[in-house]
Amino acid sequence: MSRNTPPKNLKRVSVINLGCPKNRIDAEIILAELAQAGFPITGDATDAQAVIVNTCAFLEEAIEESAQVIETQQERRRRGEIETLLVTGCLPQREPRELVGRFPWVDAFLGLDQIPEIPGLLKENNHPGQVLVSATPSWNPGREYPRLLSTPSHYAYLRLTEGCSNCCSYCTIPMIRGPLRLRRTEDILEEAGDLVTLGIKELILIAQDTAAHPELSKILEGLERIEGLRWIRLLYAHPAHLEEKIIEQMAASDKVLNYVDMPIQHLADSVLERMNRNVGADRTERLVKKARSLDPQFSIRTTVIVGFPAETEEEFEVLLEGLKRLRFTHLGIFVYSQEEGTQACEMPDQVSWEVKKERAERLVEFAERMQAEETNRMTGNKHEAVVDFAKEASEDCVTCVGRLWSSAPEIDRVVEIEGPGVNQGCFGKVEITGGRNDRIFARWIESI
């Protein structure tokens, strides 16, 4: 047993969070609930008496990653190094029945709706193997659920909706997170106000599909009026729902960045149809051209899937040629994963692993070439940036890691900044001095 027992015999708890920023918000809510209930919290699971693994499960690969973490903690539970092990998040929601047999030492598997029950469960005596999961979750936490923020002190995620009703044929998320649930605009704006009061300067708007919120324009307007907020960033906007007027609103705004993450998945209409994306390539092209007509530097991130069932070489070429034409600023590449329970899983003409891999490699090669050209084009230019982490190098020179306005945290290229002592959360002007694939180099000019 670790040395100093927490007050009131409440176990010292650690939350291990996996997956996307939406899962991170759930973990922050769990942490806040535990703190409110008086549980001591530690960021170091090896120093905890109770561990909560908040899992991701949208792809087989993510399930394997979650399983490895659970197995490690389960071994500690079996050896008595920890008293309680809870598993929450998307894995219990996706595979509630299989888990007990696979992980016999887990005390409880909890679905999204059961998050509020965690403090109570931790106070109870354990009896492994509980499965507490609602088949279709209604979880849609608003401002009534405080968060213990886990991001650096100057940026935070803000969720606009929960769940998704788009039902893309390859995607497991609707069956995990349930159908689309909207948050009230007032509630979103009030939470944003709370976060800015805590010192947050950059808000990153997230959902499964942020453009599915019918009041997105009103939300952006409301956020724009919040004093003290500097950057507003939009992620996960489905091209079928993102309106040109939103792009106009972004381009006209001082605080809403000319940055959008717009997952397109493909550019061949025949594949988009089989994916049930409800959007054609022409609309995507119109949106990109609109953005670039308003700001040639408009930063557009996207993700694509290669090797979707029956994808032909011709369809892949359409995708590649389209990407060359549209020059997305950041490109995420996924190899199609045949996920049980999805429509696409049953489709004929599944593409072989060799072909998928070869196509993904051609896209990676293209993306790296595009990135190198982008670095050359940016070198010598001045841009706004923020410091995410400051590293001590010497008395008068500090190397910081941060981001240009055109990069989102955790997913886009970082910038390594040389310059006088600037701290985490500092916004400033930098001059680009070069770069390589995963990072850009710059020198600090001035704070702003």
Shortest CB 148 distance to ligand SF4, Å = 26
Shortest CB 218 distance to ligand SF4, Å = 22
Helix axes 353-378, 313-326, angle to 10 degrees: 10
Q: Look at residue 263 and give its three-state secondary structure.
A: coil
Identify which of 307, 334, 304, 337 has the alpha carbon closest to the alpha carbon of residue 64.
337
Side chain identity at residue 82, one-letter code: I
Shortest CB 268 distance to ligand SF4, Å = 17
CB nearer to ligand SF4: pick between 370 and 411: 411
Shortest CB 237 distance to ligand SF4, Å = 10
Helix axes 185-197, 216-224, angle to 10 degrees: 30
Q: Look at residue 428 and give its three-state secondary structure.
A: strand
Task: Give dist(CA 366, CA 369) in Å, integer.
Answer: 5
Compute how many residues bind ligand SF4; rule: CB under 6 A: 10
Of the candidates 161, 208, 342, 407, which one interacts with ligand SF4 according to CB under 6 A? 208
CB nearer to ligand SF4: pick between 119 and 179: 179
Is position 168 an interface residue for ligand SF4 (rule: CB under 6 A)? Answer: yes
CB nearer to ligand SF4: pick between 24 and 403: 24
CB nearer to ligand SF4: pick between 84 and 265: 265
Of the candidates 62, 87, 171, 234, which one interacts with ligand SF4 according to CB under 6 A? 171
Of the candidates 167, 251, 310, 401, which one interacts with ligand SF4 according to CB under 6 A? 167
Site string for ligand SF4, 147-166 (x = CB under 6 A): -----------------x-x
Task: Give dist(CA 195, CA 153) in Å, integer.
Answer: 10
Site string for ligand SF4, 209-228 (x = CB under 6 A): x-------------------
- Helix, strand, coil share (%) of the chain residues, nearest 5: 35, 25, 40
Q: What are phi and psi of 151, to 5 degrees?
A: -90, 165
Shortest CB 240 distance to ligand SF4, Å = 9
CB neighbour class for 167 (10 Å; exposed up to 12, middle 13-18, buried from 19):
middle
Identify which of 161, 235, 229 has the alpha carbon closest to the alpha carbon of residue 198.
229
Stretch that binds ligand SF4, among 64-72, 169-177, 187-195, 429-437 (CB under 6 A): 169-177
Q: Which of residues 230-289 bind ligand SF4 (CB under 6 A)?
A: 238
CB within 8 Å of 369: residues ≥ 6 apart? none
Q: Which residues bind ligand SF4 (CB under 6 A)?
A: 164, 166-168, 171, 173-174, 208-209, 238
